[in-house]
Each structure stands twice: as C-alpha cells, then as structure tokens.
A and B are shown apart, each in its own frame.
Chain A
C-alpha cells in the first residue's frame, strides 16, 4: 500500500514542477527505453549468467514469476503490486536494489512504472506461459506398471519386482528363514511383541505339516489382534511428533490428548481406509470423529504466557503454530517439506511461498487448545457416554424424591433441585469473596440450553456489579465465556454479601444450576500443583413468584447438610453418582486437547515469512503443481476448507498420498523405505530404489486388483508384503551380499536391526507375564505433579502401574524417561519420519542396572521356576523360551551352569535381556 501512496506523491511532484505528467498516455518503447535499463542495471545478477534469488529479469516470464521471495517482480498494469518497483524504490528494508550499487534515478523508476502500468509490453514475449508441469518424479501421476515377466519363478508380485533388481546387481534372495525366525519377525513387525513360547511351539508344529497355511493363519491372527493397532499407531505418532505436553518452558500437560492416540489405534485396528483416516484427521469434526483433529495439533506450541505481550511476538507465535500444522501434514501425508516454503519459494521442490500460505488458509480455524470433540452417535466414546449417562439419570431419579443434591464435575459444581417455573432467579452467596467465570441455569425441557445466557435475552444484575477493583464485572457470569475472565467479587465484613439476579425473558421451568471459576484451565491441562480450585460456595437460590415477591427455593446448606441428616440413606446413591461422573470423565466424551476451532481470518502471503509483512491475500488451496485448486466459496467456513483439502489429499489422482503411505508401510516392514527419506519425496530426498515397485504398490493400494480387500487398506498392504519371499527369507549375511550391497537395500537378505524402545520394554513385560494388554485409556504416568513452570520429574518408571504397553506411557516432550530415551525414543520436538538406530553406553547402563530390568529379571526367573516345578534345567530352558522364543543350546547351557547352580536365574534373565539376540529383529 505504501508504494501506491508514494507513486501518487511522485505524480503530484511532477505536476508541481510544471512539467506535464510524463506522458502517461504515451506508449513506452520497450526496446529503446526499458530493455537497455534492465540490461544495464538488473541483468548482471538476474540474467542469463547469474540468477540471484532465482530471479530472471531478462525475459518477461521471469518477471511475472518473480524469484525466491515468491512475489511477482512485475504485475502487468499494477506497478504498485510489482515487487521490482518496491525494491528499486528501497521500500523493503534489506532488499534495496540494485545491490551495492547506485540506486536508479527517479526518472528511470517512473519509466519502469509507466511501462508496467501499460501492461509491461515485451514485444515477442507476450504469449510465453509457464509450463504447468514439473520434472519431479513424485509429483507426477502414479502409473501402474506391469509386473515383471519373471512371475513363473516368483509367484509373488513384490518378489518379481525385487528379483529383477537383484539380478541386475548379480544378487539373489537368501534361503527362507526358519519357522521360528519367521514367526518372531512377523510378530514383532505386525504387533510389536514377540510370540509367546506357546504360540511359537504351536506354530512350529503346524509349519511342519503345512508351512504356507500355518504362516497365512498366523498373519491373519496377528493382523486381527488388538496389539496390531498399537504397534502401527506408534509409527504414525512418531511421524507427527505427537505428545501429551506442549513443549517449551512450562511444558504443560495436554489434558485428555490421549483420546487421539486411541483414535489412531482404533483406526489401524479397524483397518480404516487410509483416505478416510486422512480425511478424519483433517476434518473429523464434520463426520462425528472430532477427536481425530488431535492430528493437527500434534506438534509443540508455546503457550501465551511464555510468548510475552509484544504484539509482534503474538503474531509470530500464531504463524509458528500454523507452521507446525503445515509440517505435520507435509511430513505425514504429503511427504513434502512444505515448511521450507514458509519464507521463500521452496529451494528444491515446486512449492511456492504462495502455495504455502494458500495451504495455511485451509487451517485458519485451528488453534492449539481443548474443546468438546464432535462425536457421532455410534462413536465408541459417545456410546459409552450414553450408557453411563443413562445410569446416572437412573440414580438421579432415585434422589429426586428427597429434594435437591449437589454434584462435583471437576470443572464445575451442579446443584439439582425440584423443578419450578419462574421468570427470575436470585442467588445470594454467603461468603464475602467469589470468583466465577460462568453461572448457568438449565431446565428439564431442554437440558442443554443455558437459560441464564445473556444472548438468550436474560437480564443480569448483581452486587458488586463492577467486581474487584472495578475490573471484574458481573456480566462475565453469563457471557458464555469460560476461563480467566471472571466475576471477582470481594466485599467487606459488614457489607452486603455478593449476589446475582437473572431476569429470564419469559417464564421457564428450571431445575439445575452450574457454577465454575475457570473451566478452560481445567479442560486444558492437568497434573499441576496449583489447579484451578473449585471452591464450594455456599449460597441460597430464590425464585421470583408471580406476585413479584422472592421465595427461597433451594440452597447448598439445605441440599447438603439438612437433607443428609434427614435422609442418610441418600449418601450411597450420591457416592454412586460421583463415581459415575468419574467414570464418564474417563470413558465417555470429555473436553480434550485435540484442537480448538476459531473463526478463520483472512490469509496473506507473508513476505520472508514475517507476519509484519503481509502481501497478497490467498484463498485456501493445495500447491498449484499438485493440482491443489479447491473450489470453495469466498466465505467458506473453517470445516468446509479443511474438508476440501482433505478430499484433495485423499483423491486417487493425488500423486503423493498413496506413494508416501505404502512407502511408510514398507519402511516399517523391511527397515528401510523404497524411498529412504520417508517424509521427503522431493528433490532433496532420495530417489526410490525400486520406482516401478513403488508405483505398483501405490496403484494397488488405491485400486486393488491383485490383492483381496478394500481400497486404501493398510492391513491388505501388509498382508501382501509379509507374504513375500523377501520378507520371509533369512537375515544371515553372506560374503557376496556384504560385498555388493552392505546396506541390503536390494533385499538379498532380510536386513536385521535393533528393535525399538517399545519392543524391548513390552517384550520384557510379556516374558514376566505381567504385560497388561488393556487397550486404550489414560496414559500411565511416570512423572510427578509439578508447579506450572517447573520441569517434569521422573517419579516411577517401573512399578506395577506402568506394566502396560509402552505406547500408553505418557508421552512428554523433551523429558527423559530415565530409560528409553537412550534408545532413540523421540523427544517429539521435531518430525521424526523414522527413528535413528544408535548404540550408546547409556543404553547398556539402563538395560543392565535399572530398577525396571532388575525387577523384571527377578519376575521372569520366578515365573520360569514356577512353571518348571523346581527343576533347574527346565527353569533355565523356560527363561530362554520366554525371552528368546527358543531353548538354550548346549553351549549356552554350559555358560549358564555356574549361575544356575548358585540359584541366580534372575541374573541369567538379566544377561539375556541385554543380549544382542534379544535386542535385534532377526
């Protein structure tokens, strides 16, 4: 805008000098006037030789396209929108052009402006258009290739593709692994748990009869087990760096964020089609799976208290939060580092800064915070909630005959009383000091409608009206806003006590009153020493009679104290109600940190990523080169925008979505993706080792022909891969393979690798017989309850409360769990497309000396003894079976003999837990 303004000043200045305005109407001669200027002053850096900032000013198309900044250097007809003018006028600090040279003269600049205003006519180049295609392989449509001809030998299509490459590199598949190895590998890959000794025994017997059948049946069993979803959810959560704390200084706990984790587990277990899985995580609020939006707010964020009060910092923080959303989607679904286009056009990939901001426009209604997720009636949480509410209602019915009662809902208290029709309600508090963020009144007819709300026409009066220090007015109790904006009333000793009065718009039946003092805080976080307290305010409630007088109707003293004395039998039901409320908060729908929805604002391209430099307004869309245009109305709502972009991502025409997911699945099956950079399919990432195979798998994923099953089925894809010879072959190295392909990227053997932290922990617990396989629910805690700005401290990472699968361990950003952080367990600060596998002495120390391992070693030994009737040789064998799925070899027996003789079976277990065999996927 500033440049327009200046343009006018120049024009006025020219008039004042008494010259005719320089020939606005007269056509600029490009060849004679403009070309020499460009050549002389610009093309040295932005021409054929050099293209600083990827900008070319030696042809018209380059001008229209602009450089890295993403701004068009020239917008024909609009000098005020042309970045070229801005930089030569030195209006953009830090970008004064020509660089390190004399500025252009005023006359030269005015000439350029005139030329642009007249349409930037460049004879001979007016028809040049941008090629709408990209060379980047992954942006091109998936083409289903033919399966190679060698299928007579390799009946499995995956093997056929792989064998082709193997023969090119003069390699071949290894022999099949033995049944025990195949089972252990299959079980860990699919469920994250090794097989039990019983399963192993049964499988080996069956395999001896019919190995193919035994294997297929085992695949089905494992895919159908609830542990499957837990394993594969873990992979997904890694990529999006999901955690249950905010990160940053206070690193506050995100209350009930875990319901998103459960959603992911459920989705994998139900084999939800992947396109639907993506759609729900972006727009699940529109289809009754509101908790799926936890995906969008999976990344870290800095809460407002630590951002500070400077407006620029506040704007920057919002841009940072949206960037976290972009990174999540880019890394997980798209396999594109979209975040790289935040400040300038992507350096490597065909993503412009405009694309970046157009994408953020689709997520403008997302904020980091809590809400009540939207659930369809058949949602498991909703169903469980309905059951519990029905039980709750039954108990309430029992209580009604005694009169009123009070319920504690954590965030608020609710006073229930005999229904009464009235047009006025007055509440007189007995304490001199009151904090209330909201006070709600409900009736039996429409139990969800807050009759007290100002926007329903209810008039409010109260005392003290303006509140403490006249800054905390009473109007806050019925403004519909929860949080720190409270009515704070403080009265002196001999003064009138606080009261509020609601004049309803017309006569209504009322039966319930709800009161709270900071519901938002209660909903958003937990495990803090200083929680929002929910004081028990004593008050009386009066109703306005038709004759205009006030009648005492109910009060806290009456329902709690008086009725309790009168009807002690009430207490049991009250306790049941409280317990049902507790259950509902665990098992039913509840406010959860899965994102808050706000009114979407306008989105602008931010020059150099700075919120202080907004430029063109952009409409929601995916990147242009990915066909991301969304046909949305001008005034589209937030959910409409997200749904549109989700549908675009899940479209079978989208070149990335399927490729990225099948590659991710491949990565977790074979240890290395066909594209080894699993979240970067761009020019800076790796090329696929087997491009045809990747495309065939992607095509098959979206539109299955070869494999049985629905489109986008993760389980079908896995079923296909684990049946391949490549997966079932031995992992033994051989000289030739090592020499020609030490990384095993051509899969001449199955590449062994150290298993993840979770597999180690879960396997140990399974061996001791103590692994609690309950699926879902609140995470088990290993940390303290802390002060707001304190660091989390480890309290107990090994006690019986923690004996669940590790996916249920509370996942805290940048907090060391004292055990498995050393095993490359991610800190959840940055996207972790795949975990490094490193080896450190801290791993050794943790696995040798931790309380967890010491305790579990003892428990495994005790179990082994129990299950072998005191025979020490058998007990030893049992330890090997429980931990390694096999009996000891004679040499191992001999190695263990001294320890066994001395009754130190627990130390044998400790050694096995630390052994390489235990830690490696065979």
Chain B
C-alpha cells in the first residue's frame, strides 16, 4: 500500500471538491466525526470547569487529525523529547550532591523513617560515586554519569520534586499521565491532541521502548486513555518497526498496490453515496497516512546513513549489547525529531522480567553494581543524543526532559546494599528550547530525603512542560465522565524560574 498517496484523480477531486471545510461552508466542529474526535461533550461546552477557566478545544479536522495546530500561546519549543528512566534513579548518587551523607555514613540520624516501601530501613550511606564540580557553573555531579556531567551548564535541574506514591507502576503513571491510577491520557497524547504534528509522514507521537521491553506501566505510559485512539503513542524502536507496518511477506509489491487501488475505487464509489461525510473522508485520509508511513518509518529507522563519527559518539559499537541497542534508539529519537515528530518518548529500562539481570534503575540490592550497569547503558548515548541535537540546532525548537518516577533513600535498606524508593525527593532535568540553562531549581533537605526548598509537585512539573510547549495546563481539557479532565487534574503551578 505504498501508493495510497497516489489517490486517483477522481478520488482526489472528490476529496477536494468536498473539501467540506471550505466549500460546504461548514465548520470542522459541525461535522459528524469532528464532534467525536475533538470533543465528546460539545453539548457541555458551556459548562463550568473545576478551575473556572474555559477550555481551549483544539480544532481537529477529521480529515487530518494530525494537522499542525497552533498552541495556546507563543512558545519556542515546538517538539518534545522525553527520556524516561523507569525504576527510580538515585538522585543522591547522581545529580543531587549532599555532603552531609559523607559525614553521616553508617549512622542513623533521628527523624528518618524506620519502615519504607520494602521494609525496615538501615543506616545512611554516602554516595557510591565521587562528586566533582563541572563546567563553568561548577555544578557538582557524580562520576556515575561522566558523559552527561560534561553538559551540566546546559541543563536545568529540578531537585525538589516529590511524588504521591512509592510504587513504580503508580509512579510511572503519575509522571507520565498525571494520575497514579491507570487509564488516563499520557503527556504525549495530550500534546498531540492539542498540537497535532508537523510531520504528516510519521506518527505524531512515538514511544521508543527499551530493548528489554515495556516499562512497568506498559502502554499506559504512552496510551491515549480516554482521548481518541488517534492520539496514542506509536510503539517502535530501532530494532522493531510498528505492528503490521510492512506489506505481508506473502504479498508482492504489485499485488499490494492492486489491493490499494481497488480499495480506493470502492471507497470513492461509496463516498458518492454519502457526500459530505467527513468520517468517511477521514478514514480515506488515514489510509493515505498509513501508506506514507510504510516508506517513512523504515526510512527513519534506517541508521545506515549515519556517519561513523555519529555511531561512535552515541556508542553504538562499544560497551554492552544493551547499551548498543539503546544507543541506536537514541539515534532514532534524534531522527524522529528531525523529521518533525511532535513527541518522542524514549525509555531506558523495562519491567523487572526482561534483560540480563538488570532491567531498570530499581536498585534495592547492590546499588553499586546495578546502578553502574544501568548507567553504562544510559549515560554515553543519552549525552551524545542531547549534544548531537544541540549541534544540529534541534534544541532551538525542541524541549528535552530527563525524568524518572521518584528518588532513592539516603540510607540503605536494613542489612542491605541498596536504597529503597524515595517518593519525597528526586531530581529530573530539562534542557533545550525555552529552558533556562545552567540552573538548579529547588533543593532537597540535607539528606536528600525530602523536598525542602521550592518544592515541586509532579503536577507543577507537568504544568511547566505543557507551558514550555505553549499550552495552558488549565485550559487543555477533555470532557470525560463528568469532568473536564486535565493532565494536571485540579493542581499544578508553572515553575516560572526554569523558563527562559
């Protein structure tokens, strides 16, 4: 079906003639599918929202649900890359320098809990890696992530994040969908619902999953929840194309094309009986996009034209095989952004069953070894990806988010060698378009146990991300089952200090 785009002249003119939005004098919102696509409760449009603000409903053309749409307000970031690190990265061993921990190593100061997620708590453990000042800002970060450390001057760290759960799946849900429960639309689906995409050749929202499999919340991290399925993340990575992308192996190109041609003619004849039906036209358009994806996706996945230098920088040929795979995913991420894909979500970890002994950042035991294994996979390719995007000018209009679901405890688990989950404090960073580089926002307490200065909730964080994309988190809503739902529920304040 490579040739769907070659819609027959007759079909083309049919579609053009019924470019309903123009000639028939109907607004998009007046057409059948539009009401379903854009908004379930047009009838409820005048209703109050919890925040009291009026929703801004994206004007979705049913023929082109992915058409580029204007943001709520001007923004430099047009695209977004979310690098998500499932399992909870230890902030006190990476970016959140806590000198107190060196002093208190092996001690148990009062005020810290006796039981945490997995059970009894042990004594304070100093960071497992040395911290050094970096760059011009002199920001201290650890030796665990030496490649990322070189770019700290470009990053904006948020050190005072806290979350509402100490369980991974709920934590992933919360970071990625704004709710600990399942079934809510993901950040990426909200953004593509609002903005569509610049690329009409590729999916608007791509989830690049870890070579080891999906993260613990699975599809929920990039699902559409109750938004229309059109806005779900399309799941593929450097190794595996999307489901059913290619022509079946039993079919030669000619046979495939003949089916597509016939399909077009059947649909044209049917459309004559239902003139002015946007649903039908929209479905024809979706086949065209599918056809284009059959060439555009393999093309974007094809890394053979990347230079040796690039492959080397990303680490495609060195280190563990998992790192090599992840490095390829990083290159794919850059290529997708280059092609104008609106949202790319790149995962660095899976649920606990995949991989070779280490599957994500969840280091309950032997953190020295397990975090190092995970860092080996993540550090160089991720750093190369960000640097490469900067070099190519992509960060001028792309926001990059590096995020995990919570932090880890400053103390060990009782009689243990690992750190338990810490929902009270953790660190994420932003870089790229719209972000104030070389800053650190907020602080955790002296132990890194609890957010202390300028605390940031996940709602605030997500509100800020939407703001960076030119979207008002209080007005980007979708009516579902009684409420104008938002990514940020009824909370969230934009962190002004991280904005340029």
Interface of A with B (CB < 8 Å)?
241, 247-249, 251, 300, 302, 306-311, 313, 320, 331, 336-337, 340, 347-348, 676-677, 679-680, 682-687, 689, 731-733, 735, 738-739, 742-744, 751-754, 786-787, 789-791, 813-816, 818, 821-824, 827-834, 836-846, 848-851, 854, 889, 891-892, 895-896, 898-899, 904, 907-908, 910-912, 914-917, 919-920
Decide if B286 is an interface residue (CB 8 Å cutoff). yes
Question: In the assembled complex, which residues on chain A have CB atoms less than 8 Å from the CB atom of B24?
Answer: 738
Give B208-227 as 1s and 0s: 1 = Cβ < 8 Å from A's Cβ atoms.
Answer: 00000110111110010111
Would A829 and B182 count as touching, CB distance under 8 A? yes
User: Residues 242-260 of chain B: 1 if any A CB is under 8 Å from the residue's CB, otherwise 0?
Assistant: 1111111011000100111
Chain B hits for A248, CB < 8 A: 169-170, 182
| Cβ contacts under 8 Å, B290 to chain A | 841-842, 844-845, 848
Cβ-defined contact, B43 with A751, below 8 A: no
B31 touches A754 (CB 8 A): no
Given contacts A308-B118, A684-B44, A684-B47, contact A300 B266 (CB under 8 A): no
B283 contacts A916, CB within 8 Å?
yes
Complex contacts, A898 vs chain B, CB 8 Å:
258
Q: Verify A830–B481 contact, CB threshold 8 A.
A: yes
B149 on the interface (CB 8 Å rule)?
no
Among residues 19 to 40 in chain B, which have CB atoms less than 8 Å away from a CB atom of chain A?
A: 24, 26, 30-33, 35-37, 40
State the Cβ distance, B43 to closest chain A Cβ, in Å.
4
- Name which of B138-146, B273-281, B317-325, B338-346 contacts chain A: B273-281
Contact A814 B219 (CB under 8 A): yes
Q: Could you give 18 example pairs across A and B, Cβ below 8 Å?
A: A313-B117, A340-B482, A677-B479, A684-B44, A738-B26, A791-B351, A818-B243, A818-B244, A822-B229, A829-B220, A830-B480, A839-B62, A839-B279, A840-B230, A845-B293, A914-B259, A917-B266, A919-B283
Chain A residues near B35: list those with CB within 8 A.
Answer: 743
Known: A309-B117, A842-B243, A849-B246. A836 touches B40 (CB 8 A): yes
> Are A789 and B280 touching (Cβ within 8 A)?
no
A837-B228, A838-B65 given; name 8 further pairs at CB < 8 Å.
Answer: A302-B170, A742-B26, A742-B31, A743-B42, A838-B36, A843-B286, A845-B245, A915-B263
Contact B218 A733 (CB under 8 A): no
Given contacts A309-B118, A340-B483, is CB(A814)–CB(B223) below 8 Å?
yes
Closest 10 CB pairs of A and B: A829-B183, A830-B183, A337-B482, A790-B353, A838-B228, A829-B182, A844-B290, A686-B43, A841-B290, A680-B482
Q: What residues on A are CB-neighbors of B50 within 8 Å?
A: 347
Q: How far is the CA of A916 from the CA of B116 in the complex (A)?
A: 56
Residues of A within 8 A of B70 (CB): none
User: Per-residue CB proximity of B181-220 to A under 8 Å, as 1/0?
Assistant: 1111000000000000000000100000000011011111
Per the bound structure, the CA–CA distance linking A848 and B286 in Å amounts to 12
**How far in angstroms is the closest Cβ of chain A from B52?**
10
Question: From residue B178, how far is it (CB to closest CB) to chain A in Å?
Answer: 13
Residue B500 at the chain A interface, CB threshold 8 Å: no
> Are B483's CB and A337's CB within 8 A?
yes
**A682 engages B482 (CB within 8 Å):** yes
Contacts of A739 in B (CB 8 A): 26
Q: A791-B351, A830-B181 are in contact. Are A677 and B482 (CB under 8 A)?
A: yes
> When the two chains form their complex, are residues B262 and A823 in contact, meaning their CB atoms are under 8 A apart?
no
Contact: B481 with A337, CB < 8 Å? Answer: yes
Distance to closest chain A CB from B293 (angstroms) = 6
Shortest Cβ distance from B359 into chain A, in angstroms?
Answer: 10
B168, B248, B259, B269: residue with the most chain A Cβ atoms closer than 10 Å = B259
Does B275 contact A830, Cβ atoms closer than 8 Å? Answer: no
What CA separation (Å) do A571 and B427 show in the bound complex? Answer: 66
Q: How far is the CA of A686 from the CA of B119 in the complex (A)?
A: 48
Chain A residues near B287 (CB-CB < 8 A):
841, 844, 848, 914
Determine whether the beta carbon of A676 is less than 8 Å from that of B43.
yes
Name which residue of chain A comes closest to B243, CB basis. Answer: A818
* Residue from the list B223, B270, B481, B484 in contact with A915, Cβ < 8 A: B270
Asked if A920 and B280 sit within 8 Å, CB to CB, the answer is: yes
Chain B, residues 171-183, CB within 8 Å of chain A (1/0): the string is 0000000000111
Q: Is B76 an interface residue (CB 8 A)?
A: no
List the A residue with the shortest CB-CB distance to B354: A790
Q: Which residue of B lies closest to A677 (CB)?
A: B41
A907 near B258: Cβ-Cβ < 8 Å: yes
A786 touching B263 by the CB < 8 A rule?
no
Q: Which residues of B contact A828 (CB under 8 A)?
A: 183
CB neighbours (8 Å) of A306 from chain B are: 167-169
Contact call A827/B245, Cβ cutoff below 8 A? no
Whether A791 lies near B214 (C-beta < 8 A) is yes
**Inter-subunit contact A300/B279 (CB<8 Å):** no
B72: chain A residues at CB < 8 Å are none
A310 to B423, CA, bound (A): 12
Given A309-B118, A309-B119, check contact A892 B269 (CB 8 Å).
yes
- B238 at the A/B interface (Cβ < 8 Å)? no
**Complex-state Cα separation, A917 to B479, whole angstroms:** 30
Which residues of chain B are within 8 angstroms of A751 by Cβ–Cβ distance? Answer: 32
Residues of chain A within 8 A of B267, CB atoms compared:
915-916
A857, chain B: closest CB distance, angstroms: 9
Given A331-B481, A791-B218, A816-B235, A839-B223 contact (CB < 8 Å): no
Contact among B37, B213, B217, B481 with A831 in the assembled complex (CB-CB below 8 Å): B481
Contacts of B31 in A (CB 8 A): 742
Q: How far is the CB of A847 from chain B (nearest CB, A)?
A: 9
A248 to B481 Cα, complex, angstroms: 22
Q: Do the beta carbons of A313 and B65 come within 8 Å of each other? A: no
Q: How far is the CB of B256 from chain A (nearest CB, A)?
A: 8
Q: Is the CB of A841 within 8 A of B203?
A: yes
Residue of B nearest to A751 (CB): B32
Residue from A348, A689, A742 within 8 A of B30 (CB atoms):
A742
B397 on the A face (CB < 8 A): no
Asked if B82 lies at the interface with its beta carbon under 8 angstroms from chain A, I say no
Given the complex of chains A and B, what is the CA–CA distance between A629 and B376 in angstroms? 63
List the B side residues contacting A914 at CB < 8 Å.
259, 263, 287
If A827-B223, A850-B244 touch, whether A786 touches B482 (CB-CB below 8 Å) is: no
Does residue B495 face the partner (Cβ distance < 8 Å to A)? no
| B29: nearest chain-A partner, CB-CB | A742
Alpha-carbon distance A904/B62, docked complex (angstroms): 33
Kindly state the separation between the CA atoms of A898 and B266 in the bound complex, as whole angstroms: 14
* Chain B residues with CB below 8 A from A891, complex form: 265, 269
In the complex, B289 has a CB within 8 A of chain A: yes
CB within 8 Å for A789 and B482 given contacts A247-B182, A302-B167, A829-B182: no
B1 interfacial by beta-carbon distance below 8 Å:
yes
Bound together, the chains give a CA A911 to CA B353 distance in angstroms of 40
A138 to B203, CA, bound (A): 42
* A839 and B168 contacting across the interface, CB-CB below 8 Å: no
B166 and A816 form a contact (CB under 8 A)? no
Is B283's CB under 8 angstroms from A839's CB? yes
Complex Cα distance, B47 from A686, in Å, reads 9
Give the distance in Å from the alpha carbon of A401 to the alpha carbon of B276 in the complex: 80
Which of A309, A814, A907 touches B255 (beta carbons < 8 Å)?
Answer: A907
Contact B274 A732 (CB under 8 A): yes
**Looking at A348, A689, A844, which has the most chain B CB atoms within 10 Å of its CB?**
A844
Bitwise interface map of B from 451 to 483 toward A, beta carbon under 8 Å scored 1, else 0: 000000000000000000000000000011111
Pairwise interchain contact B32-A744, C-beta atoms closer than 8 A: yes
Contact A916/B284 with A743-B32, A829-B184, A907-B259 known, Cβ cut-off 8 Å: yes
User: Is there a chain A Cβ closer than 8 Å to B48's Cβ?
Assistant: yes
Asked, given contacts A309-B115, A845-B242, A911-B266, whether A823 binds B229 with beta carbons under 8 Å apart, the answer is: yes
B7 on interface, CB distance cutoff 8 Å: no
